[in-house]
Chain A
Amino acid sequence: MHLDPFELHQPATVDEALCIYRDHAGDADYLAGGTDLLPNYKMHLNLRRHLIALGGIPELGGIALGRLGSMTRLADLEGSGPVAGAYPGVAEAVAEVATPLVRASGTVGGNLMLETRCFFFNQSRFWRASLGYCLKAEGAVCHVVPQKEKCYATFSGDLAPALAVLDAEVEVATDRGRTRIPLIDLYDLRGDGIRRHTLPPSAIVVAVHLPPIARQRLGTYRKLRIRPAFDFPELGVAVAVRFEGSSVAELRVAVGGLETAPRRFDELTDPLAGQQLTEERIRELAGAITRSVRPVYNTFLPPDYRRRMTGVFVRRALVDLAPASSAAA
């Protein structure tokens, strides 16, 4: 399929990339592995006339225990023994993204900055034109929740929840310099759903940083999808926990694939510090998370099923990670 014409820029530094973006603000996109952006361009979704390829910027590469360059390919993360060994939940999540062929090109940065998805959006222009365009591309109304203010497209990246439960931070470059923010703050459920992240449009994700404490946590990632390859998450649950003796030191739970943004439930898990992870506490936590998520019908599986499976996955993950003495049952 031929793409509509665009100019391809290949900067060698982050500053050069920002500068090119500034010259074409509003009419440019960054390109990493292209496994999300190019299918969207082929479907004529929000085309820009300038593509800024990030692959020639050495600073965005590199993979180490404490730092994943944003241009790290998913296949390289998966194949990196020490990193995968240190973060079992991340290893599980990355191995379940798409297919080996997509992971050979797709990157960590692209996975975090992934466009949100909806079955009224990820369609050809012909398909969308016949129904009438929607709020997220060229139209004025949402077909899922009919109104004109908010898009409910689903955040479908697998890595964000798995990294968020490790208290990862992202290093971000903008025109105003470098900042580091908690990875979970890249996303905001209260946004309009059209913008998929909280950063300024020109921002470049430079790297993901993982604190030393992350290496002391047990972790797991559970993904709901129809086929065991290819499919985006219909639900992703990440859990990370550190025990001191048989009681919880820190516990983090995050979900993705359900709403416009991934979410972490610190308000529900922080009170469990110092407690034993008993069967009852696990059941209560799973129930509270299930009650608080609000998926809509814009992916393949019905939202009520995805919501109920959230509790099932949270419970299974915690039972598997808990020391035998606490959640024996």
Chain B
Amino acid sequence: MSRDRPLELTVNDQPVESAAPEERILLDFLREDLELVGTKRGCDLGTCGCCTVWVDGRPTLSCLTLAHLVKGRSVTTIEGLAPPTRLTALQRAFVEHGATQCGFCTPGFIMTASALLRDHPHPSRPQILRVIGGNLCRCTGYTKIIEAIEAVAREST
């Protein structure tokens, strides 16, 4: 069996000191070791986007990232976007537009689209379609997701 190696990083602005085997995948580290189960495991192979988190602010597939390779860096998960009882403007827009049905893809979409809105507060529709191209949803048909993102883009100053 492989032995654990110390692993320090920042998760949702909190310093984390942990340990994990060298082959630990970031998604497993977040869900199983840190019990941050908001990040979802869909395909586990890079083909759905459910597992998207930010690494130093950049949307990243946690299922294809080794935990030890983000040592010392800052990881943000869906749990870190707003305090537990609050929603971000985009999360609220998802609720209001019915952009979430089974909800399994939602954390991934929110992480991807929040980074887009942070960097480009007024994205065009083609830009939105392009950026969410790596996130799959089996329920909504995407229209409501796109409308929710556009609603936030319209409201932001």
Contact = CB atoms under 8 A, between A and B. Distances in A.
B39 interface: no
Contacts of B45: 39, 42
Given A2-B23, A5-B23, A39-B45, A100 B66 contact: no
A328 interface: no
A1 B52 CA distance: 16
A292 to B, nearest CB: 33
Interface stretch (A101-109, A137-145, A313-321): A101-109
Given A6-B23, A34-B65, A101 B1 contact: no
A86 interface: no
A260 B71 CA distance: 37
A53 B131 CA distance: 28
A8 B68 contact: yes
A126 B58 CA distance: 34
B131 A100 contact: yes
Dominant secondary structure at the B interface: mixed
A3 B61 CA distance: 16
Contact of A99 (B28, B65, B134): B134
A39 B21 CA distance: 18
B134 A98 contact: yes
Given A4-B23, A6-B23, A39 B46 contact: yes
Interface in B14-44: 21-25, 28, 44
B46 A102 contact: yes
B23 A8 contact: yes
B2 interface: yes
B134 A3 contact: no
Contacts of B112: 100-101
Given A53-B69, A101-B49, A101-B112, A1 B44 contact: yes
A262 B49 CA distance: 29
B91 interface: no
B25 A3 contact: yes
Contact of A35 (B46, B130, B135): B46
B22 A8 contact: yes
A55 interface: yes
B60 interface: yes
Nearest to B41: A1
Nearest to A40: B45
B98 interface: no
B57 to A, nearest CB: 11
A101 B22 contact: no
Given A5-B1, A7-B22, A101 B65 contact: no
Contacts of A3: 23, 25
A101 B136 CA distance: 12
Nearest to A73: B58
Given A99-B49, A100-B131, A2 B28 contact: yes
Given A5-B21, A55-B69, A39 B64 contact: yes
B69 to A, nearest CB: 6
Interface of A: 1-8, 10, 31, 33-35, 38-39, 42, 51, 53, 55, 98-102, 104-105, 228-230
24 contacts: A2-B23, A2-B24, A5-B2, A7-B2, A8-B22, A8-B23, A8-B66, A8-B68, A34-B65, A35-B46, A38-B66, A51-B66, A98-B46, A99-B133, A99-B134, A100-B130, A101-B49, A101-B61, A102-B64, A102-B134, A105-B60, A105-B65, A229-B133, A230-B134
Given A6-B2, A39-B64, A99-B133, 9 more contacts: A1-B44, A2-B28, A6-B22, A35-B46, A53-B69, A98-B46, A102-B64, A105-B65, A230-B133
